[in-house]
Structure 1
Amino acid sequence: EDYVNHYYPEPSLVKSDSELQAWWEEVRTTGHGDKKDEPWRPILSTPEDLVQTLTTIIWVASGHHAAVNFGQYPYAGYFPNRPTIARTKMPSEDPTDDEWELFLDNPESVLLHCFPSQIQ
């Protein structure tokens, strides 16, 4: 807020800043053309509007992004949790005694056998 108020001490300066208005027009019409006519889209006409808009952009690009995406690694970053395709059941699903013994002896080999080879 202090930063915006430093550069825009008068409310009319936001509305008259042609470069700022061109940037906001591009964000609205090109960046999110599908939402350009939504009534909830802010109009940058005061420093308060600019502060609210910048706060939202910073939040979405930082804290929100981290909260939504960083928790995915334990699931999506470890391949056996989400293979793109498996040819057979995972070794822990209804194994026979022989399959279970083989799995206990060499779990990596049994697990890799479930997935297609690089050639496939």
Structure 2
Amino acid sequence: MFPEGGPGAGLLLLRLSVALPLLLQPSGGPLMHAMRALPAIGLCLGVLTPLLAIVSCLFSFYDFMVMGGATLPEAGIKLLAAGALALLGPGAHSLDARLFGRRVVTVPPRKKTRVDE
């Protein structure tokens, strides 16, 4: 689904709220920062949003369990926001919407057989 209007703008804001902590978290070296920047940029653009939201969940869980860079409430909020984004999708203001767009699938009527008669 790629909702437009207010819900689409809300999903854009949700994508940004999940992506920005990935960019602004100062844990790890340059390699870790690059590993965080790629999914963050993808989320900002709305590319592969459900997959990258799950990657964001994994980074939040890693920060909480291994790095100690977040408290339980902070990690919980990040996990909830990323989980909601993974379930809701990118919205109309995304590259996913441009690439895949809305599709209408029409199923042709079933032909009658002898059993149906």
Same fold (TM over 0.5): no
Higher relative contact order structure (alpha carbons within 8 Å, sequence separation ≥ 6): 2
State the TM-score, normalized to the length of structure 1: 0.27
State the TM-score, normalized to the length of structure 2: 0.27
Larger radius of gyration: 1
